[in-house]
């Protein structure tokens, strides 16, 4: 039973929307690629968990605070005896550990992911203690990318390599007793944790942007190329030739605009301009009138959620 699904991280939504429309610095680009890759890894792991036949209790993507410290959990799996904290990493290539420091094959030191794992485990334990939930937490780092190798990893580390994932999951879900995997008490604790989930992530790193400087147009949802007018009722990607109906293209445009400029009034002109004039003012107006509440008069007409 999935008690809380995963949603696309807000920071990633911003970066996806901004990247084709402005120049990122090298560092911003690297952050964006890492975030995209991390999310892709989490979705891959989600698919593996969704394939498990045995009924289980799972929370995805929790953002919590304990003693003024924020921490994030990729997956929490509840079994009758314990809670498994499963953190997914989509690292690629060769890595090695030397006296507890992690390096890539080129010798570049990276943040030790085990420290982050331990930190969130400690905070989760403190939180569970406060909630009087007497449950043991076991934490694992799961490396999901088949192209990942780790040298000098001691067997005692809570690390699951790509070739070990299936065996690891099999063991987690082992059917060695006939008892149910889901108990009301565990479900109660899980729901209490979900109630504490914070929706706003305070440490989003988004490049500065302003409306005037951003490139306008419709971005292809498939390849991020630019869309152009095609046959009636559709736009077509100039790069991959994917076609899209006007309505879905306007909808994406409106969502992007609302994400980047939540305090700006939604007007026909703005969306017409934002989508690079690919879709006529009349079509944009029809879309907004159908789905939003019209406010104001004459030139100051704007649209709001119904």
SS3 229: strand
> Least distance (Å) from Zn ion to the CB of residue 250?
17
Nearer residue to Zn ion within complex by CB, 242 or 291: 242
Total interface residues for Zn ion by CB under 5 A: 8
Nearer residue to Zn ion within complex by CB, 187 or 242: 242
Instruction: For residue 13, give both structure tokens.
Output: 């939504």
Nearer residue to Zn ion within complex by CB, 207 or 225: 225
> Least distance (Å) from Zn ion to the CB of residue 24?
20
> Least distance (Å) from Zn ion to the CB of residue 12?
19
> Helix 10-18 and helix 26-50: axis angle, to 10°?
130
Contact 110, 54 (CB under 8 A): no
Tally: H helices and E strands in the chain? 8, 15
Interface mask toward Zn ion for 189-228; x: CB under 5 A: -------------------------------x-xx-x---
- C-alpha triplet 286, 291, 294: angle, nearest 5°: 75
Question: Which is nearest to 58 in space by CA: 217, 173, 206?
Answer: 173
Residues 238-267 that bind Zn ion (CB under 5 A): 239-240, 242
Q: Using DSSP bridges, classify how beta strands 93-98 and 148-151 pair: parallel, antiparallel or unpaired.
A: parallel
Nearer residue to Zn ion within complex by CB, 87 or 256: 256
Nearer residue to Zn ion within complex by CB, 10 or 21: 21
Question: Which is nearest to 38 in space by CA: 65, 11, 62?
Answer: 11
CA 295/CA 302 separation, integer angstroms = 5
> Least distance (Å) from Zn ion to the CB of residue 233?
18
Does position 185 interact with Zn ion (CB under 5 A)? The reply is: no
> Least distance (Å) from Zn ion to the CB of residue 252?
13
β-partners of residue 226 are 219
CA 98 to chain centre: 31
> Least distance (Å) from Zn ion to the CB of residue 223?
3
Among the residue ranges 23-31, 76-84, 127-135, 235-243, the one whose residues contact Zn ion (CB under 5 A):
235-243
Dihedral of CA 61/63/67/69: which sign? positive
Site for Zn ion, rule CB under 5 A: 220, 222-223, 225, 237, 239-240, 242
């Amino acid at each position: 039973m999935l008690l809380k699904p995963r949603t696309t991280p807000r920071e990633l939504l911003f970066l996806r929307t901004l990247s084709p429309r402005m120049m990122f610095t090298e560092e911003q680009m690297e952050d964006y690629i890492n975030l995209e890759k991390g999310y892709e890894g989490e979705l891959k792991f989600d698919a593996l968990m969704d394939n498990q036949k045995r009924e289980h209790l799972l929370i995805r993507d929790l953002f919590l605070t304990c003693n003024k410290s924020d921490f994030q959990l990729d997956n929490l799996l509840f079994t009758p005896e314990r809670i498994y904290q499963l953190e997914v990493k989509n690292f690629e290539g060769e890595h090695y550990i030397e006296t507890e420091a992690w390096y890539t094959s080129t010798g570049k030191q990276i943040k030790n992911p085990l420290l982050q794992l331990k930190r969130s485990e400690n905070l989760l334990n403190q939180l569970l203690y406060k909630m009087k939930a007497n449950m043991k937490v076991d934490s694992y780092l799961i490396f999901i990318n088949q192209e990942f190798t780790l040298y000098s990893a001691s067997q005692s580390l809570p690390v699951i390599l790509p070739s070990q994932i299936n065996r690891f999951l099999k063991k987690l879900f082992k059917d060695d007793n006939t008892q149910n995997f889901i108990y009301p008490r565990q479900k109660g604790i899980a729901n209490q944790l979900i109630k504490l989930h914070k929706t706003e992530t305070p440490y989003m790193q988004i490049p500065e942007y302003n409306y005037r400087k951003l490139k306008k147009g419709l971005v292809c949802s498939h390849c991020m190329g630019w869309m152009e007018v095609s046959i009636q009722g559709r736009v077509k990607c100039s790069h991959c030739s994917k076609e899209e109906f006007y309505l879905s293209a306007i909808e994406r445009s409106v969502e992007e605009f609302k994400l980047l400029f939540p305090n700006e009034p939604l007007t026909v002109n703005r969306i017409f301009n934002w989508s690079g004039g690919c879709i006529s003012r009349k079509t944009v107006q029809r879309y907004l009138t159908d789905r939003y509440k019209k406010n104001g008069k004459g030139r100051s007409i704007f649209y709001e959620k119904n």
